[in-house]
Amino acid sequence: MTDSKSATTSVGAAESTSRKGRGTKLFIRDIVLIVVVAIVVSVGIKSFLIRSFYIPSGSMENTLQINDRIIVDELVPNVVPIQRGDVVVFKDPGGWLPPAPVAPQSGIAAGIDWVLSVVGLSTSDSNDHLIKRVIGLPGDKVACCNAFGQMTVNGIPLDEHEYVKLPQGSTSVSADNFSVTVPPNRLWVMGDNRYDSKDSRYNRDTPSKGFVPMNDVVGRAFLISWPTSRWTILSDYPDVFSGVSRPTK
């Protein structure tokens, strides 16, 4: 009887150990599946819906501050059309930005940064993009400045005091006068910090002639996500452009 009980106990212990081992494997499998699904969903969101960037310069002050983190709606402009006043992120059309130095990274650091970029938590490519406010759509005639220092779009003066930053004592929204007509499938963009923004005005000697091709637009910035003290929905100020007629075809 003793030998029988001992054998039974040994078998039971083995079965218990086996069940524990199987349970551990199932747990690990479930964790791996959850992580894989999370990565797939994150990649899908980053590829088709939203993306994160950080602000490296003061060209959009005071709307955006240096090192702000923003969330960009990638449905614009392929699904949702761009509106005047939208704050858009776009790839360098060519010659707008100086060559960016590449900081050396260890293999581990580079691997971690790649994983974070895949799931949309890294903003490593922010230095290859620009962010400005859309002033002119295809066909618009954009000019500055009238007798009151205002910019006009299709002959309509804009009251931009809500978002434009000007030096103390300045009344003109641009230090330099200009008059352009926006070509098809292009945008005329300007920084809110008008006297410290290398925008469309100052890139007319580049291949894009200062205009931003629609295909270079990554999306519309709609939210300041970091720091938490600056959580803000970004406005396109529809009242500023409400009186502007539709662009000519």
Rounded distance, CA 33 to CA 15, Å? 27
What is the longest distance spanned by two Cα atoms in the chain?
110
198 Cβ contact list (under 8 Å, min separation 6): 59, 96, 191
Q: SS3 for 189?
A: strand
Whether 220 contacts 88, CB under 8 Å: yes
When pLDDT is cut at 50, 70 and 90, the band that residue 203 belongs to is very high
Please state whether beta strands 232-233 and 212-213 pair in parallel, antiparallel, or not at all (unpaired).
unpaired
Instruction: Name the more confident of 120 and 27.
Output: 27
Alpha helices per DSSP H over the chain: 2-48, 107-118, 238-241
Q: Which of 8-12, 27-31, 159-163, 197-201 has the lowest mean pLDDT?
A: 8-12
User: Any idea where the domains of the chain sit in the sequence?
Assistant: 1-48, 51-98+119-241
107 Cβ contact list (under 8 Å, min separation 6): none
Instruction: Name the more confident of 88 and 6.
Output: 88
Whether 88 contacts 82, CB under 8 Å: yes
Q: Any idea which fold 51-98+119-241 has?
A: Umud Fragment, subunit A (2.10.109)
**Neighbour-count burial of 102, counting CB atoms closer than 10 A to its CB (0-12 exposed, 13-18 middle, 19+ buried):** exposed
Whether 14 contacts 83, CB under 8 Å: no
Q: What is the mean pLDDT of residues 171-199?
A: 97
Rounded distance, CA 159 to CA 174, Å? 13
> If you write DSSP's letter for every residue of 74-118 in order, what string do you get?
TTTTTTS---TT-EEEEE--SSSSPPPPPPP--HHHHHHHHHHHH
- Report pLDDT for 52: 87
Rounded distance, CA 233 to CA 50, Å? 14
Q: Among candidates 167, 178, 168, which has minimal Cα distance to 145?
A: 178
Please state whether beta strands 151-153 and 186-190 pair in parallel, antiparallel, or not at all (unpaired).
unpaired
Rounded distance, CA 107 to CA 111, Å? 6
Q: Which two tokens stand for residue 65?
A: 């501050």
Q: What is the mean pLDDT of residues 2-12?
A: 52
When pLDDT is cut at 50, 70 and 90, the band that residue 201 belongs to is very high
Which residues are catalytic, by number? 59, 132
Beta bridge partners of 54: 69
Q: What is the mean pLDDT of residues 98-112?
A: 57
Give the distance, in angstroms, between the CA of residue 30 and the centroid of all CA atoms in the same chain. 33
- Report pLDDT for 194: 97
